[in-house]
Structure 1
Amino acid sequence: MLSRKLTDETRAAFQPFGTYIPAQVPDGGPDDFCAYIPDVVADCLDHETSSAPAATGEIERAVFVPDRIPTDAPCVRLTDNKTFVYWNGWAARLIQSLAGPDSIELRLVWSARPHLRAPPPPDGF
């Protein structure tokens, strides 16, 4: 879900890879927010080293095959699980820079660089 400002600021980079849909939120105007729905679905999960999906479809430990990740797209849905969206770092950092660092917290899920490790999920998530 993106504010109108974030929608306007990300449209050029994101629209080739997905669709913006106006969204109605409580106490918001009819054009205040949009949901970004990614069209990119990729088979980039390493099924042998990733944890099995939970009943909700959540993958606790996701490991990706680097040469199968569509890095030009802002985010991707997996072929086996189209519910969860994985954002590429450049797009997540763009949203954070536009919204402000205190508005968006980034959480590493996976990196091709071995020295970068994903932290455990926050309590309650």
Structure 2
Amino acid sequence: MIPRHPHRTEDCRAVSDILQRVGDKWTVLVVGKLGDGPMRFNELRHAVGGISQKMLTTTLRGLERDGFVTRTVFPTIPPRVDYELTDLGRELLVPVFALGEWARLNQARVAEARMKFDTTVE
């Protein structure tokens, strides 16, 4: 059984706040890709696949603001910008990878439950 902590409203707010940042699909994918090491913007965009330039910019800014990612600008022509996970971001890889593995292992069970639900609800 998973240990539970006493319910406190301030804890719920804190958890909700963090999950808003790390719980969306783009954040999970970006953090996962940056787990391989620093990447340039376009490298990251191609690695993630399907993400618009605007959404990647928004996601990276949010991750930078929350301390998960650093942005380093190199004074070259044209300027080179690398994104890299911070220590906090690397710590986030643990639950991100665990959730990804859980999803991969349980995808068929979830699909079966959905099919069962959809056929009985109609």
Query: TM-score scaled by structure 1?
Result: 0.27
- Structure index of larger Rg: 2
| Greater RCO, CA 8 A, separation 6+ | 2
Query: TM-score scaled by structure 2?
Result: 0.28
More helix by share: 2
